[in-house]
Amino acid sequence: MDKRPQDTRVVVGMSGGVDSSVAAWLLKQQGYDVIGVFMNNWEDINDWGNCTAAEDMADVQAVCEVIGIPHQIVNFQKPYWDRVFSYFLEEYKQGRTPNPDVMCNREIKFKELLQRALDLGADFLATGHYAQIRQNGQYVNLLRGADSGKDQSYFLHTLDQRPLAKAMFPIGHLHKSQVRELAAQAGLPTATKKDSTGICFIGERNFRAFLSHYLPAKPGEMRTLSGEFKGTHQGLMYYTVGQRQGLGIGGSGTGEPWFVVDKDLARNILYVEQGHDHPSLYAQALLASEIHWISQAPPAIREADGAIRCTAKIRYRQADQAARVYLEPQGNCKVVFDHPQRAITPGQSVVFYAGPVCLGGAVIEQTAPVPTSATVR
């Protein structure tokens, strides 16, 4: 960074939560020219998806007054609907489980908001993500956040070099408890505010009721993989691989819980099996599409069979799993894990790491058999 902090303008994306509040406060304490911006991404329609926008906007205003920085409200409802919510609905329509947080970061925060920040004369866009960045020669690395329990690099894996070169993550080196302490010391009104959970546009509302408002439910049969009829499901979009709750067939068979193991979209059948460790819940390999490398190219160091050796996650809070990535044409890849993985879910992200560095990721399409080393690809 060539310019002094006082000559550097930073726009902070502020959500009304404690993390972005402390991010803005820290930057102001460090002498930066800080502007807070609240994104209004969702409009209440027929009282669906409140997302506490009014309360959050009021909190942003109160925090900015305490810090002593100006703030603005920007309306991104149309791009959010077009690029995030429409994707969300289409994925569920296809029987998959989408990850709207990943799409929101790529399309809204680090595209629309970044452009608005640049229009305001900003040198950088800062957010309250638990992640870190490091200059590595001509490239910018995305690193895990210091708090392993809060690390959000998983949700940022689709970013490329341009937004990362303009990004700042002021709390990435802190733990959540430290962030809360700083907020209290600074007298920020969000110091004890509860963290938001779930998907913003659904808020505290019932997920099934919300989704049925936009997509018609299509009930169908619930069967075991051997074909035994177990009941009726309410619509494939309401279920995800590995799900236990909401099946309504507990207590039958061996008495163990039942879990979703697969979906047949063409025949509208939900497949279930009994037992947390049922073999059909596990697979050692997956196929993925839309592979993205943060450094713009896959790692050059490969194993003898062409594999990229790394660790990977198939869900946000999962511990790192040792894996090999085999590149395929058209941006696809096969990921082979050292050990079987439970509930690999189409539509979710598989994200790759080399130590603290997030390499990138891809969209899970389906599980795959583990080929021999001679035929793998």
**In contact, 362 and 371? CB cutoff 8 Å:** no
pLDDT tens per residue across span 281-327: 999 999 999 999 999 999 988 899 999 999 999 999 999 999 999 99
pLDDT at 48: 47
Query: Strands 229-233, 220-223: parallel, antiparallel or unpaired by DSSP?
Result: antiparallel
pLDDT tens per residue across span 313-369: 999 999 999 999 999 999 999 999 999 999 999 999 999 999 999 999 999 999 998
* Dist. CA 309–CA 313, nearest whole Å: 13
Backbone dihedral region for residue 270 (phi beyond 0: left; psi -120 to 50: alpha; all else: beta): beta
pLDDT at 253: 72
CA angle 63, 64, 69 (to 5 degrees): 155
pTM: predicted TM-score of the whole model, two decimal places: 0.93
pLDDT at 133: 97
- pLDDT above 60 for 377: no
3-class SS of residue 223: strand
Segment 24-41 shows an average pLDDT of: 96
Helix ranges (H only) for 42-150 are: 53-67, 77-80, 86-93, 100-104, 114-119
Cite the active site residues: 104, 200
pLDDT at 53: 77
pLDDT tens per residue across span 164-220: 999 999 999 999 999 999 999 999 999 999 987 766 666 666 788 888 889 998 999
250: confidence class by pLDDT, cuts 50, 70, 90: confident
- Residue among 133, 208, 141 at smallest CA distance from 169: 133
Which residues have CB under 8 Å from 209's CB, separation 6+?
none
DSSP 3: S
Segment 247-262 shows an average pLDDT of: 86
* Dist. CA 85–CA 25, nearest whole Å: 31
Q: What six digits make up the tokens of 304?
A: 């003898």
* Dist. CA 36–CA 117, nearest whole Å: 10
Rounded to 5 degrees, φ, ψ at 354 are: -125, 95
Least confident of 73-82, 175-184, 247-256: 247-256
Which residues have CB under 8 Å from 318's CB, separation 6+?
none
* Dist. CA 198–CA 41, nearest whole Å: 15
* Dist. CA 333–CA 348, nearest whole Å: 15
* Dist. CA 56–CA 63, nearest whole Å: 10
Largest Cα span, the chain: 69
Domains of the chain: 5-186 (3.40.50.620), 217-276 (2.30.30.280), 282-368 (2.40.30.10)
* Dist. CA 109–CA 21, nearest whole Å: 16
Residues of the chain above pLDDT 90, percent: 81
Which residues have CB under 8 Å from 57's CB, separation 6+?
16, 38, 40, 73
Q: What six digits make up the tokens of 301?
A: 């160091």
* Dist. CA 214–CA 93, nearest whole Å: 10
Segment 41-70 shows an average pLDDT of: 79
CA 201 vs. chain centroid, Å, equals 15
Mean pLDDT in the chain? 92
Residues of the chain above pLDDT 70, percent: 92
Query: Strands 71-75, 124-126: parallel, antiparallel or unpaired by DSSP?
Result: unpaired
Which residues have CB under 8 Å from 111's CB, separation 6+?
163
pLDDT at 203: 62
pLDDT at 46: 45
